[in-house]
Structure 1
Amino acid sequence: MSLLVFGSSGQVAAALRKIAPDAEFLDRNAADLSNPAACAAAIRIACPSVVINAAAYTAVDNAEKEEVLATVVNGHAPGAMAQACAELGIPFLHVSSDYVFDGSGQRPWPPGAPISPLNAYGRSKAAGEAAVRAARGPHAILRTSWVFSATGKNFVTTMLRLSETRDTLKVVDDQIGGPTPAQSIAETLLQIADKMLAGHEGGTYHYAGAPATTWKSFAREIFARAPRAVEVTGIATADYPTPAQRPLNSRLDCSALETDFGIPPPDWRRALDDIVKELT
């Protein structure tokens, strides 16, 4: 498999580097997602057998004032990539987000559920999904949630950093979702790519860690493993206002991915053990 990956230093791209070192990785200097035409040109020049888009505008709160830029990066660029892949007849894999849903209810969201994003970031990701489908080429959209790893800025690295100077923290306790290891996402993308090269038609799938939990409980699990003597108190989302509204229910129904590809949801607690050991 000749693999071209958009992204280089992000969590998923970094994980892909570890398990697919022979792939070609395009950083911002090589392919700036604010220039969709350049991204499409990079694909036509490389002529790979598979393309994975692991790059994105991920500053959720900043997107509220930079929605145009977020939409270009998360919407127009993936669309241009997908169009180039469709012209070449090669699979295009795109990572999306639970933020395309409004977070209502308590049931896990299936892939076919109606989307209704609450914030600019979610709207930009929804635009990317629509553009990828509109290209009508072989594609797989993988929605995931609460990504964490030992690299970059994420909830685990943030909690450990805060624990260096604080012994008490207030953490949101009414948002529920599945923390997902970046390494597991990378492995899943490669498995999907292999099956698509073998003829699987792809589609839209969900992949998130199990069991579902809250940010408060996730924080407590981190500190229990560190170990750090930090008291974590739960608060409501309303008590921690942010520029971008967050969905309360980010549970994702991952059964379709397991049925079609034999890939079950990862147990995030096992990955957390290894990541905390690496970081402490």
Structure 2
Amino acid sequence: MKVVVTGAAGQLGQDVMRELVRKNHQAYGTDRQQLDITNEADVIAYISEVKPDVILHCAAYTNVDGAEANEEIAYQINASGTEYLARAAKLNGAKLLLVSTDYVFDGTANEPYEVDEPTKPLGAYGRTKLAGEQLLQKHLEQFFIVRTAWVFGVYGKNFVKTMIRLGEERGEVGVVHDQVGSPTYTVDLAQFMVQLIETDKYGIYHATNSGVCSWYEFAVEIFKQTNLNVKVNPLTSDQFPTPAARPKYSVLSKEKISENGLTPLRDWKEALAAYLKETTEKS
């Protein structure tokens, strides 16, 4: 298949490109230089020229705290950009997959969020991503939306890299223990996304690695697997204030993956081990 990837230079986008090539698809990676998704005419022109079978929409404004002060810019990228791609997909008969986020929920649940749970974002990032989901659904009857959370991969900044750096520099870190979710390795997420677009099993999916932990437990496991002797102090969210509120509970139910006979993502501790192996091989 011929596949256009937006945000191809990003943490997830680079692994998506690799996976498409591995599966012998024709991959057209775009970043801001090749395609400004906030310009509707550019989007229509580019998609009409390439005529892809699928658009994998990984580009996003993902600075959660920055979005509080720049909601208009976040909206242009996360909402308007998605709408333009949906229109272009419809015009050209392409499938469209949007990568979305656990931040569309408010995090007050105490059991995993199903795909059809009512959404209620806490902040600007979640609002703009939810607007993107809704605008996509306004234009397309058949679509893929994949909500994920706590993403880490070799190509970008992420929690694992930050913890290792701080641990090596300081020997002691403080990490919030009252926010719970599931980490997601970009390699595993990319494999799921490419498997999904090869089907016609449309709809909203939740895709993270399996298992649940707090950020504190995630940090402890990182230091355990890297054999770093670092003291990890549990903090409350109140002790670590940020401009944007974070959902306290971000666990997403992956039922739909299994129901549709697709491959569930492995346990997050296994994924972390694979990521650490990959970073060692790359360095």
Q: Give yes or no for TM over 0.5.
A: yes
Partner residue of 2:123 out of 119, 122, 128: 119
Among candidates 25, 30, 36, match of residue 29 of structure 2:
25
Single out whichever of 33-42 and 58-67 deviates more from structure 2.
33-42
Query: How many angstroms does 1:225 deviate by?
Result: 1.1
Equivalent position of 2:114 in the other structure = 110
Q: Residue 251 of structure 1 corresponds to which residue in structure 2?
A: 251
Distance 2:29 2:240 in 1: 37
Contact 1:209 1:266 in 2 (8 A): yes
* TM-score, normalised with respect to structure 2: 0.94
Asked if 2 retains the 8 angstrom alpha-carbon contact of 1:102 and 1:247, the reply is yes
Residue 185 of structure 2 contacts residue 271 of structure 2 at CA under 8 Å; is this kept in 1? yes
How is 1:92-241 mapped onto 2 (pairs within 5 angstroms)? 92-196=96-200, 200=201, 202-241=202-241
The structural deviation recorded for 1:162 is 1.3
2:46 aligns with one of 39, 42, 46: 42
1:77 aligned residue:
81
Which string of whole-angstrom CA distances, capped at 9 and with x for unpartnered residues, describes residues 219-245 of structure 1? 111111112111111111111000000
Q: CA deviation at 1:42?
A: 1.5
Quote how far apart the aligned CAs of 1:36 are.
Answer: 3.8
Q: Tell me if structure 1 keeps the 8 A contact 2:209–2:271.
A: no
Q: Is the 8 A contact 1:177 1:213 kept in 2?
A: yes
Q: Is the 2:9–2:30 Cα contact (8 Å) retained in structure 1?
A: no
1:48-70 deviations in Å (ceiling 9; x for gaps): 11110011111110000000000
Q: How many residues align?
A: 276
Q: Which amino acid aligns with 1:273?
A: A
Q: What CA distance in whole angstroms lies between the structure 2 residues aligned with 1:278 and 1:47? A: 34
SS of 1:58's equivalent in the other structure is coil
1:262 deviation in Å?
Answer: 2.1
Distance in 2, Cα, partners of 1:41 & 1:230: 52
Cα distance change on mapping 1:113 and 1:37 into 2, 3 Å? farther
* In 1, Cα distance between equivalents of 2:41 and 2:111: 39
Tell me the distance in 1 between the aligned counterparts of 2:41 and 2:178.
41
Cα distance in structure 2, aligned partners of 1:82 and 1:110: 24
Segments of 4+ in structure 1 off by > 4 A? none
Q: Could you tell me how far apart the structure 1 residues matched to 2:46 and 2:261 are? A: 29
Equivalent in the alignment of 2:3: 3
What SS class does the counterpart of residue 242 from structure 1 fall into?
A: coil
**Cα distance, 1:251 vs. partner?**
0.5
Answer yes or no: is the 8 Å Cα contact 1:83–1:137 preserved in 2. no
SS at match of 1:20: helix
Q: Distance in 1 between matches of 2:40 and 2:63?
A: 19
- Helix, strand or coil at the partner of 1:165: helix
The amino acid of 2:107's aligned partner reads G
Q: CA–CA distance in 1 between the matches of 2:40 and 2:231? A: 46
3-state SS in 2 of match to 1:95: strand
Kindly indicate whether the alpha-carbon contact (under 8 Å) linking 2:37 and 2:85 is maintained by their aligned counterparts in 1. no
Aligned equivalent of 1:64, options 34, 46, 68:
68
Q: CA deviation at 1:206?
A: 0.6
Question: Normalising by structure 1, what TM-score?
Answer: 0.95
Do the aligned residues in 1 keep the contact of 2:101 with 2:148 (CA within 8 Å)?
Answer: yes
> Alpha-carbon deviation of 1:266?
2.5
Alpha carbons of 1:212 and 1:29: their partners in 2 closer, same or farther (altered >3 Å)?
same
Tell me, yes or no, if the aligned pair for 1:31 and 1:39 is still in contact at 8 Å: yes
Q: Give the conservation status (yes or no) of the 8 Å contact 1:172–1:215.
A: yes
Q: Which blocks of at least 5 consecutive residues in structure 1 are unaligned?
A: none
Give SS of 2:170's match. Answer: coil
Q: Distance in 1 between matches of 2:103 and 2:261?
A: 24
Q: Which amino acid letter does the alignment assign opposite residue 245 of structure 1?
A: A
Conserved? CA contact 1:90–1:138, under 8 Å? no
